[in-house]
Chains A and B, each alone.
Chain A
Amino acid sequence: MGVETTDRFKLDGAGKRVVVDPLTRIEGHLRVEVNLDSDNVICNAVSSGTMWRGIETILRGRDPRDAWAFTERICGVCTGAHALTSVRAVENALGITIPDNANSIRNIMQLCLLVHDHLVHFYHLHALDWVDVVAALRPTRRRRQCSRSRSLPGRFHRRDILRICRSGLPSSSNQGSSARSKMPIGGIRPTSFRQKRT
């Protein structure tokens, strides 16, 4: 079996084929397909967006002043960035220069979006790869102190946290032993790393 996608990527059934569809916690719809060889190494990977709305077609022939609102709807997670680039594109096309104050306001808005998008992306979308929410919600004392799941690679042990308390912040870690100063973030490192090395 061998199929070529419209972007000239090859899909085939070589090795072990793993398909993730739908890929969640993103805007829109995405399908990811990989092939693993006998050593469990990815030898082919193809991702495809499985949704098309044609906003570029819809925009054709519209009033340029309205373009930002259409473009903004490309993504509801990072709206402002699309709107701003659309406004800039229109201004470039029409040779419009904007005053410094306007530019400053735009920069402030863009940076606010950056901060808020970072929070949304990390806590609502990305965090679920690192935190087991269901376990975190169970109110046993131990789990309240340290939410973790054995299936996740980046977990921290309670003793790591105790060690942070003892060794202090990174700025104070240079007072400790040389071995500890090489460790990341104030002398701790994820358990799984330590298990591999020793």
Chain B
Amino acid sequence: MGDATDTFYSVIRRQGITRRSFHKFCSLTAAALGLGSPGAGRIAEALETKPRVPVIWMHGLECTCCSESFIRSAHPLVKDVVLSMISLDYDDTIMAAAGHQAEAILEETRAKHENQYVLAVEGNPPLNEGGMFCIDGGRPFVEKLKWMAEASKVVIAWGSCASWGCVQAAKPNPTNATPIDKVITNKPIIKVPGCPPVAEVMTGVLTFITTFGKLPELDRQGRPRMFYSQRIHDKCYRRSHFDAGQFVEEWDDEAARKGYCLYKMGCKGPTTYNACSAVRWNGGISFPIQSGHGCLGCSEDGFWDQGTFYDRLTTIKQFGIENSADQIGIAAAGAVGVAVAAHAAVTAAKRLTRKRYGAAEKNDRVPGKDNDGRRDH
């Protein structure tokens, strides 16, 4: 879909877009990424000078909901991303070519842009029966995925399928669907979980990678920290009802009509790290809790097998609103560290007193005299 040596700026100028609109786009994108006004300048500079990044978007065992989400992005608009910002060379769902023409694009990109292209993977490979549960272009998807990953620069794992396994990996996982980081081990992988992920998160991640030529800061699970550092619960607009102990007890009761907290109806917001409550969906209109249903926790690992979606969470941890998973982890690690240090100190003190005691004993003994032999044991 175009020459990858063009810059974003030259492409949009050719489409008749003014420089003013270009800068507006840059500042909107910077705002969406949370980079502030210096970020807008950096984005503008990168888009004016760097060639567009070729992107290959592959589909394994999936339901295309990630693509569906992606095409609804409002900031930046997906048309700007797909048609101008990146060079989307291959995507099963929205490309014009099919059959051997489509296959030829993969080979061409792999040869022409070796170690330059971004491999975006939607869905995951099944490993049972030699990968026969997902065949694409006459080859098992797992083979094709490894083959394309070899020559890629970075790999994006779209959605819960590619990141954790999602619905096809739920018990009993009949096809042995496996997250892509278990298959691709030698490339940097960024996980963008969610079923599907928020559209603005997807375009935001892609914008960051194509603009700055590197991955955004990741947390320990490989997710971009800028979008996955807070729980749904932390930014939930019904949080005040949770804190006040006002809960929906039954569907369609008075509390449900008043928009009270859905925690007792099985909302998984308190254990789910995602941007839904902050960014919201469909151009910021709403998100599941706002529509009156609890969060399913779709961006968390193995959310299908954590009991029913309508069971109340029993292990809820109360943390401050601005805490991230890592901060909590660090705090926990810190607490453990303190405990370890305390334990060590106590042990050392004990040892010291024992030593002193021993030394005192030793001094008490008179060399050459008959000892009780305790020391020699």
Contact (A76, B63) CB under 8 Å given A65-B308, A133-B96? yes
A28 touches B172 (CB 8 A): no
CA distance A52 to B168 in the complex (A): 9
The residues in A between 137 and 196 inclusive whose CB is less than 8 angstroms from any CB of B are 137, 139
The residues in B between 32 and 61 inclusive whose CB is less than 8 angstroms from any CB of A are 59, 61
CB distance from A114 to the nearest CB of B (A): 15
CB distance from A131 to the nearest CB of B (A): 9
- Flag whether A73 is at the interface (Cβ < 8 A): yes
- Flag whether A111 is at the interface (Cβ < 8 A): no
- Flag whether B171 is at the interface (Cβ < 8 A): yes
Q: Which of A66, A128, A133 counts the most chain B CB atoms within 10 A?
A: A66
**Chain A residues, Cβ within 8 Å of B133:** 51-54
A24 touches B170 (CB 8 A): no
A19 touches B99 (CB 8 A): yes
A24 touches B97 (CB 8 A): yes
B99 touches A73 (CB 8 A): no
CA distance A51 to B133 in the complex (A): 5
CA distance A21 to B102 in the complex (A): 9
A73 touches B15 (CB 8 A): no
B168 touches A65 (CB 8 A): no
The interface-forming segment of B87-95, B255-263, B339-347, B361-369 is B87-95
Count: A-B pairs, CB below 8 Å:
129
| CB-based nearest A residue for B160 | A73
Q: Which of A53, A62, A66, A120 contacts B61 (CB 8 A)?
A: A53
CA distance A137 to B166 in the complex (A): 38
CA distance A124 to B93 in the complex (A): 8
Residue ranges of B at the interface with A (Cβ–Cβ < 8 Å)? 1-2, 14-16, 59, 61-68, 71, 83, 92-99, 102, 126, 133-138, 166-168, 170-175, 177, 195-196, 296, 304, 308-310
Can you list 24 contacts pairing A with B, beta carbon distance less than 8 Å? Answer: A20-B98, A24-B96, A25-B93, A28-B64, A29-B92, A29-B135, A29-B136, A50-B134, A51-B61, A52-B134, A53-B126, A53-B133, A58-B167, A58-B170, A58-B172, A58-B173, A63-B308, A63-B310, A69-B309, A73-B65, A76-B68, A79-B68, A133-B1, A137-B15
Q: 5 shortest A-B CB distances, which residue pairs? A: A76-B65, A54-B174, A76-B63, A20-B99, A63-B308
Q: Told that A52-B133, A52-B175, A73-B195 touch, could you supply 18 new A-B pairs with CB distance under 8 A?
A: A20-B98, A21-B138, A22-B99, A25-B92, A25-B98, A51-B135, A53-B174, A54-B133, A57-B174, A58-B168, A58-B170, A58-B173, A73-B167, A75-B63, A76-B196, A79-B65, A133-B1, A139-B14
Residue ranges of A at the interface with B (Cβ–Cβ < 8 Å)? 19-29, 31, 50-55, 57-58, 62-63, 65-66, 69-70, 73-77, 79, 120, 124-125, 128, 133-134, 137, 139
